[in-house]
Amino acid sequence: MTIRSVTRGAAVALAAFAFAAPAFSEQLEIVTLPQGSIAYGAGVAIAGVVSGKSPNQMLPVPHAGQQVSVPMLNDGKAAFTLVNVGDSDQAFRGVKPFYTQRHTNLRLASVGYENHTAILVTIKSGIRGKEDLKGRYAAGGLDAHQTCKDLATASLASLNLTWDDFKIIPVPSVVPSVKSLLGRAEVAPCAAPGMGVIKEVNLSTPLKFLSIDPSPEGLARARKVFPGLRAVKLPAGSNDGIVDDTWVLGYDFYLITHAKQNDASVYETVKAIWGNLPELVNTNPQFRTWQQKRMAESDVTLPYHPGAIKFYKEQKVWTPEMEAQTQKLLVEAKGS
């Protein structure tokens, strides 16, 4: 697939969310995960708000995974992307084998929404819980999407399981992982409630999420694999595949940019999101966790961009603790 065909497809999707917009002064690209993923839908929704509520136009462009999109952003080949808290920390510090170098040009625009992950199975497999999982065919490998692999490993670890407990069906990333449940696999250890591809597959092959172990011991095992996780209980019927009340793992996503992105475009992007969060919630209930009071925080893994800082200062939410953390991380970046 060519970039031209990708952007044309993304533009069609974006039209569903776009508003009547003023003439734009800059075209921005937000790099996302593949179509059908939560992050792609989030990128489309953000692009719609920014295109309609700021002087700029934004276009979502999907790529295979964050190990591809994050280096692109660090090198200034895109304006924004969405990245989870764990992956942002690994990228900034250059944690191997996930990243071969430090990506110290990454800058934070906003703490965003909370994402969820858990183990997805086909109902016809007869899998009801941990005791039924060993020896089953599971979508694994995930070589183009290391974050998905880490989250899957964490979900399994919470249940005291490893990849060795399964027969592996190789897939590159999260969307093919879910699609493999149409026939090749019985278990997708990396899946996020609310993904468009889950709704699609669920129409022909009914699916069910299994609960992770929310106990302190289970959560501790998961956090050894992926720091920053928390246990979240989703009510039955809240999403496709949430058949019963289900415990899943929760973690934050950041909207990030790079150090050389001009201050005005970052300022206008943050301003558009701040003032139009209800529009995001209308596109996906997942955005209920994206709140003004959480957009600027001190306990973050990336330094804030000056354009974002300017906006938060105007809103009188920028604190000395936030400034201290950003300055600390900037010093670390200079020492690379």
Of 18, 208, 19, which is closest to residue 122 (Cα–Cα)? 208
Q: What is the mean pLDDT of residues 313-333?
A: 97
- pLDDT at site 100: 86
Q: Are 210 and 278 part of one and the same domain? A: no
* pTM beyond 0.85, yes or no: no
Question: Is the bond preceding residue 97 a cis peptide, omega within 30 degrees?
Answer: yes
Taking CA 18 as the corner, what is the angle to CA 12 and CA 21, rounded to the nearest 5 degrees? 125
* Alpha-carbon span 119 to 141, nearest angstrom: 15
At which residue do the structure tokens 């090198």 appear?
Answer: 75
| Of the residues 202, 225, 251, the one at which a domain ends | 251
Instruction: Give the total number of structural domains in the chain.
Output: 2
- pLDDT at site 336: 58
* Alpha-carbon span 152 to 149, nearest angstrom: 5
Q: What is the pLDDT of residues 42-82, one digit of tens each?
A: 899 999 999 999 999 999 999 877 778 899 999 999 999 99
- pLDDT at site 310: 98
Q: Are 67 and 128 part of one and the same domain? A: no
- pLDDT at site 43: 92
- The token pair at 39 is 């992050």
Of 210, 211, 190, 193, which is closest to residue 202 (Cα–Cα)? 193
Of 185, 176, 105, which is closest to residue 145 (Cα–Cα)? 176
| Of the residues 207, 232, 251, the one at which a domain ends | 251
* Alpha-carbon span 300 to 170, nearest angstrom: 34
Exposed/middle/buried for residue 142 (C-beta within 10 Å: 0-12, 13-18, 19+) = buried
The dihedral sign for the CA sequence 96, 253, 233, 291 = positive
Q: What is the pLDDT of residues 219-254, one digit of tens each?
A: 999 989 987 788 999 999 999 999 999 999 999 899
> Cβ atoms within 10 A of the Cβ of 217, count?
9
Q: What is the pLDDT of residues 108-161, one digit of tens each?
A: 999 999 989 999 999 999 999 999 999 999 999 998 888 899 999 999 999 999
- pLDDT at site 266: 98
207-210 and 106-122: which strand pairing?
antiparallel
Residues 6+ apart with CB under 8 A from 128: none
Q: Are 122 and 225 part of one and the same domain? A: yes
Q: Are 190 and 98 part of one and the same domain? A: no
- pLDDT at site 251: 92
Q: Are 257 and 310 part of one and the same domain? A: yes
More confident residue, 323 or 25: 323
Structural domain range at position 262: 3-115+252-334
Q: Are 107 and 37 part of one and the same domain? A: yes
Residue 319 has pLDDT above 50, yes or no: yes
More confident residue, 196 or 264: 264
Residue 86 has pLDDT above 90, yes or no: no
User: pLDDT band at 87, cuts 50/70/90?
Assistant: confident
Q: Letter for the amino acid at 141?
A: G
> Cβ atoms within 10 A of the Cβ of 216, count?
9
- The token pair at 253 is 């996503």
Q: What is the mean pLDDT of residues 82-101?
A: 87
| H or E element at residue 88 | helix 85-93
Q: Are 153 and 101 part of one and the same domain? A: no
- Do 116 and 127 form a contact (C-beta atoms < 8 A)? no
> 134 φ, ψ to 5°?
-60, 135
| Of the residues 216, 251, 286, the one at which a domain ends | 251
Whats the size of the chain, residue-wise? 336
Domain at 317, CATH number: 3.40.190.10
More confident residue, 266 or 85: 266
DSSP letter at 213 equals: -
Residue 35 has pLDDT above 90, yes or no: no
DSSP letter at 274 equals: H
Q: Are 138 and 237 part of one and the same domain? A: yes
Q: Are 310 and 240 part of one and the same domain? A: no
Q: What is the mean pLDDT of residues 27-39?
A: 87
Q: Are 130 and 47 part of one and the same domain? A: no
Q: Are 229 and 299 part of one and the same domain? A: no
- Do 37 and 3 form a contact (C-beta atoms < 8 A)? no
Q: What is the mean pLDDT of the chain?
A: 90
- pLDDT at site 41: 87
* Alpha-carbon span 4 to 307, nearest angstrom: 30
Q: What is the pLDDT of residues 250-293, one digit of tens each?
A: 998 999 999 999 999 999 999 999 999 999 988 877 788 999 99
> 210 φ, ψ to 5°?
-100, 150
Beta partners for 253? 84
Q: Are 240 and 269 part of one and the same domain? A: no
